[in-house]
Structure 1
């Protein structure tokens, strides 16, 4: 069905006058269950098929999307897309890949992106959520569980381009989450735990997830503001990937082309400490971000983004690569109603030799950040400021929880001064360990 839909869209685009076109069809289904106080609170099921079309005419492009699959609708979508493209500005970098650039292998079975086991029914999902809630409530000093939920989804995608490329994949996802609360009144603190996997057999138990949510909430009880000053900060593994995400955003081709990046002149320069590398591998099995080809039909491959601390490459799709006079890194991603843009797959930051406790011991006095909120980041200078909460460290030992503080620095300096621990988790799309950053500013009491 999806293949025939995309082929029909391409024909409609050609008939309407498009020079080139790409069509995408996605069939998705999801079931979710939420519980509270030992009872079912909410259950929902959603499924459907969506289609998207991008047309290109003389360096102009336009994208349209919809959920109606009738022949008349496909023809109307194509005519509207062509009319929109003719009114768009010219961009000579736009265009599909040459046929000899396209991926030859589109069989993603080796990546194990779909769990062939039976789809869990709503009763099974409810039991998973109830087990997570009960485990959180069993943690001493947990006052209540704000929410616990379980869901299952599957998604099938098919992409067809007028240059001859066709390919698709099918993905599944199991997930359980829980949010627990400790304390009461103005002293209430909440925290969360959640896990998702492609294969059910790879999931941690609901009890593990609920217990972790409860323990995190209790650990935040009695939080107060930290002192103000310059201190070392340890980004806990659960949020450290965000710091590396700022680096990836700064080397994204879109930002580089616009000149709106604090790393725009950093190619072949030191951006991480010596010995630290940043690797992208789109071919890791059972990972939701894995893929054999990108959204423009190019074959993906593993690459070093940063090697021994030195920046080795931007993240590029075809358009940004052409603007920079480079080759695409096969990094195109796209949604139903949007054109391709550069994005990353599975990211792995090299780990250090020491564990998290060793880094805490070395801190002396400082802050462990376990959650972040708000954001003030200047994309052109790298100036960084975020609200934070976590745990205060005195004499190399965790002393008490803290909240209502702001941490600040400059991303270029922060990344050059980081020290990775060795606690990265394998099931993260961004495998980043806890990161110790020296000399940041903490604004608290």
Structure 2
């Protein structure tokens, strides 16, 4: 495998910090450094409205004295501050109660080999290029007949360099970049106004969609929402637009996170190895997708990560574990640790997607006599302990297999255990968000209206 390049000076700095911590009395330590730069701007009604550029860096040190842990972070990298940082962290660790589950990986558990995933675009755009892209996006949205106003368009670029080192011998790093375009526009007048948006985010600027396409989609979406109706409360099939369908997978990932399982606070806590989706449903996690929005070559504890099927033919195959949650459960880490400089690791998924089905979205709704096509969800009404699901929604009413008219001011409700088992994916999967699913059909959801 070809390792991504990283700054040797940064690695040397972290290793020196760890040596200082060990000299101050730490039994083990790890350190994380993140340097980054970003440029973002906004336009509204064709004129630049704001521009921001930031550059900075941060480092975090985690030390262990026996089974007690402490963390400190700083933006100051002077030798005097590093010495103070190490001594302060060790003093803090001596003052806190022990945690039998904390600790870094054993030397034989860390990875020494990983892939270059092509996560960093070497091309940095100019402010003028971002302004032009934002203006083109907004112009295309405003050109759609029926669009009456704009919240503006945003264009952004960022690049970060990440280096991790630990007293177990691990040292590694990689760089990531991101380019994004978004626009939000309005249609209608006075109390009949509607708002919608569109956006695209990629690792490489060259992979971004045409700004005119992003803008046109936003304009067409908002115009289609004009003059919404209300519907009567009833139980019907629901179709979820791909812009939102990844939320179902997000709920799954939260429910199988090691912390929730160890605490016993997940509605899936007893479901490992059991069918939680319908047969034929497969959900894949792949941290090694080239140019993936959530890709990374190793996890935040220096553990190898890998492609795996979280759901295989409907069956739940794994938890998402870091070292601490794995120890709590008497298992081995699955390489899902994620962290920043100011906090300890916790489990987090990388690129996750549901494999598509065989039916097109049109075929998926063809037999629906009465149903709801959801394009917008509001609120956070998901109970991770019970699986109860209730959220505000808007979209389009389906009659006899066709989109009939826009609807709003409704609530959709169910339980995720039932929703997972009664879910059918369409064939239109696109990997656009990092956690993705195709258009989804869910049977028998409660729609609360008038």
Q: Verify same fold: TM over 0.5.
A: yes
| Structure-2 separation of matches of 1:335 and 1:223 | 43
The answer to whether the Cα contact below 8 Å between 1:30 and 1:154 also exists between their aligned partners in 2 is yes
Tell me, yes or no, if the aligned pair for 1:254 and 1:320 is still in contact at 8 Å: yes
Q: Which residue of 1 aligns with 2:136?
A: 131
What is the CA-CA distance between 1:391 and the residue it aligns to? 1.0
Q: Does residue 326 of structure 2 align to residue 326 of structure 1?
A: no
Gaps of 5+ in 2: 1-8
Alignment counterpart, residue 116 of structure 1, candidates 106, 114, 122: 122
Are the counterparts in 2 of residues 2 and 26 from structure 1 also a CA contact under 8 Å? no
2:399 aligns with 394
The Cα shift of 1:15 comes to: 2.4
In structure 1, what is the Cα distance between the partners aligned to 2:395 and 2:85? 50
Q: Which residue of 2 aligns with 1:105?
A: 113
Deviation at 1:437, TM superposition (A): 0.5
CA contact under 8 A between 2:34 and 2:57: conserved in structure 1? yes
Contact 2:147/2:187 (8 A) holds in 1: yes
Match of 1:272 in 2: 277
Separation of aligned partners in 1, 2:431 and 2:385: 32
Report the alpha carbon displacement of residue 89 of structure 1 after superposing the two structures with TM: 2.6
Cα shift at 1:83: 2.3
Structure-2 residue corresponding to 1:48: 56
CA shift, 1:96, in A, is: 1.0
Give secondary structure in 2 for the equivalent of 1:42: strand
Residue in structure 2 matched with residue 256 of structure 1 by the alignment: 261
Matched position secondary structure for 2:311:
strand
Counterpart-to-counterpart distance in 2, 1:414 and 1:38: 44
Deviation at 1:144, TM superposition (A): 1.4
CA RMSD in angstroms comes to 1.2
Give the whole-Å Cα distance in 1 for the aligned partners of 2:446 and 2:387: 15
Aligned to 2:5: none
Equivalent residue for 2:86?
A: 78
Question: What CA distance in whole angstroms lies between the structure 2 residues aligned with 1:369 and 1:140?
Answer: 23
Q: CA deviation at 1:48?
A: 0.6
Alignment match, 2:32: 24
Partner in structure 2 of residue 296 of structure 1: 301
1:201 matched residue in structure 2: 206
Kept after mapping to 1: 8 A contact 2:157/2:177: yes
Query: What is the CA–CA distance in structure 2 between the aligned matches of 1:226 and 1:7, rounded to whole Å?
Result: 63
CA distance in 1, matches of 2:370, 2:207: 38
Partner of 1:159: 164
Per the TM alignment, residue 428 of structure 1 is displaced from its structure 2 partner at its CA by 3.2
- Report what 1:423 is aligned to: 428
Alignment of 1:15 with 2:23, yes or no, is yes
Q: Does the CA contact (< 8 Å) of 1:253 and 1:320 recur in 2?
A: yes
**SS, match of residue 362 in structure 1:** coil
1:53-64 matches, cutoff 5 A: 53-64=61-72
Q: Say if 1:30 and 1:47, in contact at 8 Å, map to a contact too.
A: yes
- Residue pair 1:171, 1:288 contacting (<8 A) in 2 also: no
How much does 1:436 deviate?
A: 0.5
- The alpha-carbon deviation at position 261 of structure 1 amounts to 0.4
Instruction: Confirm or deny: 8 A CA contact 2:241 2:374 kept in the other structure.
Output: yes
In structure 2, the residue matched to 1:285 is 290
| TM-score, normalised relative to structure 1 | 0.97
User: In the TM superposition, what whole-angstrom CA distance separates every residue of 1:307-341 from its partner, at most 9, and x where no partner exists?
Assistant: 11011111101111111111111110001101111
**Residues 22, 162 of structure 1: 8 Å contact kept:** yes
Shift of 1:292: 1.8
The answer on whether the counterparts of 2:35 and 2:56 sit within 8 Å (CA) in structure 1 is: yes
SS of aligned partner of 2:144:
coil
Runs of 5+ consecutive residues of structure 1 not aligned to the other structure: none
| Cα distance in 1, alignment partners of residues 95 and 251 from structure 2 | 35
